[in-house]
């Protein structure tokens, strides 16, 4: 993005625009992970789901010329990945964290294998809404060009937040996540609830992938993800399993990720790769600041292995 | 979160001297991990064959090519062994913390920074010090940096309660960013135009081959590290304490074992091995530190460690097996027109199946002497 005409104000503007653009995949992956973790299980494989979703969405959009069909297809395969994870974890002695790492490698390998023919062709992109038409400045117009999926993600975060405390499904999810025994006493099968929660999480993570390949950066290649699927796990802990918190944390991460490119656009090129590391450093610092060796995290689902 | 540690049960000495039963029990308990792992590999290969058949290629031809490219000739065996060398060390980087119940998946970070440290410290010494001394200093620098990097994940785990899986992976991403920053900037050799690198090591400072083989010395380092790790875990009180802490942290703390020191010590040692893998990549393969250091050895090492059930001796054959798979990748790409990610799919399939098969432990009567009839 050019920053001529508005000088250094281009940096905060670019960070703002970047935060919205970069945060969208974080919003979807972290909402998906939040739902899965609320049910008492952790899925570290969302990185693989995200990349496989990106590949599927791109391939389907190339073939059908409809980006929205691509998003739907990504959701379907993402749910399948979640179902596999949820099904395997149902068995005794199976470690959900290790299965997540394995599913991540499996998803990445399969996405690179099947996505090879789709690196060259161009897919139609997801539409954006121009909220900046009132302004004469092209920078502001560009910054306020907001993708529909960002708005969907914001709405979903609010809806999940409301649903988790006001609906039957939300209550079931929280009971299962806090205590398998309590859930069984209520006549619920924790494994079934976790299976569906992991599938829903996979579908949401795949939407994040579809956004990467169909909007920003808007192409399919093997380096499409830079660990968003894994950082989302840390982000969910930071957000204390609260969907609205996930949305705000995603914005913060997006802003950190946009800092490097924004500074580069105003001519600061020194240490570009160090700014590249900003989101990872931020994640680590936040995890150090919010964790404690003696007490379990406030708001953590009781049955979750990662906080024990 | 616990990683199932190997159940190394010694022959039971319950007084029935002369009976065959104790040795049979010992054999059965020992055979269980081997049988279940082989079973899992077979299932994984079967699923992978179905996948290859579905994309319209012949699984039989593929396995023939894997054999030819990985193990068929002396040349391909040497190629597989060379590729196994870094995997031995990165697998230890995962397996050692796993014996304490920690899932550390950031070995890639230790490899990258170890290689970078080795290259950076070697350059001012080249010419003024003999190669042997330079290699020693390179190895020490790489191991120190790797130890700090992975040890940090262990430290944060014990003293701050930070999840070590995510922390180690974030540290790996940060390490790769540091590598890119330094080889694009301060440490960049002006002659490296297309591929930013540090200045290359002169040929006589490169680690050569093992006499009589076309395999670099990294293999010896890797195998030695595996044997030493096995001795550490199985035959020292430090290793014994680590196994107790890995089985039950509370019990270890009540016994007064220094759990914090064990965790930091084991993760630091693991990181030192990861760093050594980076030094070998620089001194024996690349000749300089560049982006090829992040070639995924750290991630394949996770699979090697889990396949070997975190047993350092079992890592040796598993690493050779996966080195062979890696070595045959190029042949499969050329002969069958399959993408280079084929081997990633195979690895991922094996990984998922092997973890799934954890559920069979203790369920097969033949491997569980406690369920045998009291007839012997």
Residue B14: CB atoms within 10 A of its CB come to: 10
Helix (H, G, I), strand (E, B) or coil at B126: strand
Those of residues 131-160 in B touching chain A at CB distance below 8 A are: 156, 158-160
Q: What is the pLDDT of residues B216-259, one digit of tens each?
A: 999 999 999 999 999 999 999 999 999 999 888 888 888 889 99
Asked whether residue B266 carries a pLDDT value surpassing 90, the answer given is: yes
Can you give the residue ranges of every domain in chain A?
7-129+148-291
**Secondary structure percentages of chain B, helix, strand, coil, to 5:** 70, 0, 25
- How would residue A251 be classed by pLDDT, with cut points 50, 70 and 90? very high
Distance CA B333, CA B178 (A): 33
* Residues of chain B positioned with their CB less than 8 A from the CB of A226: 173
Q: Which residue has the tokens 């907001």?
A: A146
CB contact under 8 A, A112 and B2: no
Q: Can you give the pTM of this predicted structure?
A: 0.90
Average pLDDT over residues A58-76: 96
Q: What is the pLDDT of residues B56-65, one digit of tens each?
A: 999 999 999 9
Query: Which of A181-190, A221-230, B276-285 shows the lowest mean pLDDT across its residues?
Result: A221-230
Q: What is the pLDDT of residues B155-177, one digit of tens each?
A: 999 999 898 998 998 999 999 99
Query: Which of A38-52, A99-113, A124-138 shows the lowest mean pLDDT across its residues?
Result: A124-138
Exposed, middle or buried: residue A270 (CB in 10 Å: 0-12, 13-18, 19+)?
exposed
Contact A257, A18 (CB under 8 A): yes
Those of residues 185-214 in B touching chain A at CB distance below 8 A are: 185
Which contiguous run of DSSP H or E holds residue A146?
strand A145-147
User: In this structure, what are the phi and psi dihedrals at residue A39, rounded to the nearest 5 degrees?
Assistant: -85, 0
Interface ipTM: 0.91
Helix (H, G, I), strand (E, B) or coil at B146: helix
CB contact under 8 A, B103 and A294: no
Asked whether residue B282 carries a pLDDT value surpassing 60, the answer given is: yes
User: How many CB pairs lie under 8 A apart between chains A and B?
Assistant: 153
Distance CA B42, CA A237 (A): 38
Asked whether residue B13 carries a pLDDT value surpassing 60, the answer given is: no
pLDDT confidence of residue B276: 98
Residues 6+ apart with CB under 8 A from A201: A32, A33, A34, A35, A36, A43, A46, A82
* Residues of chain B positioned with their CB less than 8 A from the CB of A44: 165
pLDDT confidence of residue A307: 54
pLDDT confidence of residue B373: 67
Query: Which of A16-25, A196-205, B6-15 shows the lowest mean pLDDT across its residues?
Result: B6-15
Q: What is the DSSP letter of B195?
A: S
CA B129 to chain centre: 32
The percentage of residues in chain A with a pLDDT greater than 90, rounded to a whole number, is 56
**Interface check B45 vs A, CB under 8 A:** no
Asked whether residue B8 carries a pLDDT value surpassing 70, the answer given is: no
B233, two tokens = 């875990």
Asked whether residue B376 carries a pLDDT value surpassing 60, the answer given is: no
Instruction: Indicate which of A43, A85, A234, A273 best probes the interface with B, i.e. most B CBs within 10 Å of its own CB.
Output: A273
The percentage of residues in chain A with a pLDDT greater than 70, rounded to a whole number, is 95
Contact A48, A108 (CB under 8 A): yes
Question: Of residues A250 and A264, which shows the higher confidence score?
Answer: A250
* Residues of chain B positioned with their CB less than 8 A from the CB of A85: none
Can you give the residue ranges of every domain in chain B?
86-307
Short-list A53, A99, A55, A59, CA closest to A80: A53
* Residues of chain A positioned with their CB less than 8 A from the CB of B259: none
CB contact under 8 A, B348 and A110: yes
pLDDT confidence of residue A268: 73
CB contact under 8 A, A293 and B159: yes
Q: Where are the alpha helices (DSSP H) in A239-298?
A: 243-265, 272-276, 278-290
Domain A7-129+148-291 class in CATH: mainly alpha
Q: Where are the alpha helices (DSSP H) in chain A?
A: 10-38, 46-64, 67-89, 96-115, 138-143, 148-166, 168-178, 180-185, 190-214, 228-238, 243-265, 272-276, 278-290
- How near does any CA of chain B get to the CA of A140, in Å? 31
Asked whether residue A3 carries a pLDDT value surpassing 50, the answer given is: no
pLDDT confidence of residue A6: 65
Asked whether residue B4 carries a pLDDT value surpassing 70, the answer given is: no
Q: Which residue has the tokens 């002396």?
A: B74
Asked whether residue A294 carries a pLDDT value surpassing 80, the answer given is: no
Q: How many CA atoms lie within 13 A of B316 on its CB side?
A: 14
Distance CA B157, CA A102 (A): 22
**Interface check B2 vs A, CB under 8 A:** yes
Short-list B251, B299, B252, CA closest to B107: B299
Return the residue of A nearest to B5 by Cα. A93
CA B295 to chain centre: 14
pLDDT confidence of residue A295: 66
Residues 6+ apart with CB under 8 A from B226: B88, B92, B312, B313, B315, B316
Residues 6+ apart with CB under 8 A from A297: A237, A240, A290, A291, A307
Which contiguous run of DSSP H or E holds residue A130?
strand A128-130
Average pLDDT over residues B36-54: 96
CB contact under 8 A, B167 and A306: no
């Amino acid at each position: 993005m050019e920053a001529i005409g508005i000088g250094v104000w281009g940096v905060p503007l670019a960070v703002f625009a970047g935060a919205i653009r970069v945060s969208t995949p974080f919003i979807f992956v972290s909402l998906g992970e939040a739902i899965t973790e609320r049910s008492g299980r952790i899925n570290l494989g969302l990185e693989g789901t995200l990349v496989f979703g990106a590949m599927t969405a791109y391939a389907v959009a190339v073939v059908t010329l409809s980006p929205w069909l691509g998003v739907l297809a990504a959701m379907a395969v993402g749910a399948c990945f979640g179902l596999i994870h949820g099904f395997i974890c149902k068995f005794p002695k199976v470690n959900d964290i290790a299965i997540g790492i394995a599913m991540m490698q499996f998803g990445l390998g399969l996405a690179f294998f099947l996505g090879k023919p789709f690196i060259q062709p161009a897919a139609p992109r997801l539409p954006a809404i121009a909220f900046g038409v009132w302004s004469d400045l092209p920078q502001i117009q560009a910054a306020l060009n907001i993708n529909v999926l960002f708005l969907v993600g914001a709405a979903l975060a609010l809806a999940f937040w409301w649903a988790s405390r006001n609906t039957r499904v939300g209550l079931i999810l929280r009971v299962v996540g806090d205590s398998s025994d309590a859930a069984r006493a209520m006549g619920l099968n924790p494994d079934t609830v976790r299976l569906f929660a992991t599938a829903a999480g996979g579908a949401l993570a795949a939407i994040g992938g579809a956004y990467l390949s169909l909007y920003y950066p808007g192409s399919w290649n093997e380096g499409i993800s830079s660990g968003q699927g894994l950082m989302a796990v840390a982000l969910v802990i930071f957000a204390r399993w609260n969907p609205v918190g996930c949305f705000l944390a995603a914005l913060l991460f997006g802003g950190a990720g946009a800092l490097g490119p924004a500074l580069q656009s105003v001519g600061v090129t020194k240490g570009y790769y160090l700014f590249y590391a900003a989101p990872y450093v931020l994640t680590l610092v936040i995890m150090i600041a919010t964790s404690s060796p003696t007490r379990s995290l406030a708001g953590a689902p009781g049955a979750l292995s990662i906080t024990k | 979160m616990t990683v199932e540690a190997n159940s190394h049960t010694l022959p039971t000495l319950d007084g029935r001297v002369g009976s065959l039963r104790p040795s049979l029990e010992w054999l059965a308990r020992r055979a269980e991990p081997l049988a279940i792992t082989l079973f899992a590999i077979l299932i994984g290969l079967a699923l992978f064959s179905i996948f290859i058949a579905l994309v319209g290629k012949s699984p039989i031809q593929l396995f023939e090519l894997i054999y030819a490219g990985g193990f068929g000739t002396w040349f391909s065996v040497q190629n597989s062994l060379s590729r196994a060398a870094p995997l031995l060390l990165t697998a230890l980087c995962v397996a050692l913390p796993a014996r304490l119940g920690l899932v550390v998946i950031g070995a890639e970070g230790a490899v990258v920074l170890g290689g970078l440290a080795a290259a950076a410290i070697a350059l001012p010494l080249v010419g003024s010090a003999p190669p042997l001394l330079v290699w020693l200093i390179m190895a020490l620098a790489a191991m120190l940096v790797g130890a700090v990097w992975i040890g940090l994940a262990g430290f944060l785990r014990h003293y701050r309660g930070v999840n070590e899986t995510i922390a180690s992976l974030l540290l790996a991403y940060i390490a790769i960013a540091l590598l890119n920053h330094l080889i694009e900037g301060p440490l960049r050799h002006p002659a490296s135009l297309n591929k930013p690198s540090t200045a290359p090591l002169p040929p006589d400072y490169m680690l050569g081959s093992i006499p009589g083989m076309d395999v670099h010395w990294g293999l010896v380092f890797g195998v030695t590290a595996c044997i030493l790790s096995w001795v550490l875990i199985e035959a020292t009180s430090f290793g014994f304490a680590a196994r107790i802490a890995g089985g039950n942290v509370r019990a270890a703390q009540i016994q007064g074992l220094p759990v914090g020191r064990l965790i930091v010590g084991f993760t630091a040692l693991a990181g030192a091995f990861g760093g050594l893998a980076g030094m070998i990549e620089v001194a024996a393969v690349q000749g300089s530190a560049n982006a090829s250091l992040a070639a995924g050895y750290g991630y394949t090492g996770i699979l090697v460690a889990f396949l070997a059930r975190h047993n350092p001796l079992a890592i040796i054959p598993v690493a050779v097996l996966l080195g062979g798979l890696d070595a045959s990748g190029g042949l499969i790409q050329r002969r069958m027109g399959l993408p280079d990610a084929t081997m990633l799919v195979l690895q991922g399939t094996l990984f998922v199946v092997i973890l799934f098969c954890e559920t069979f432990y203790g369920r097969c009567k033949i491997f569980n002497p406690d369920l045998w009839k009291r007839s012997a």
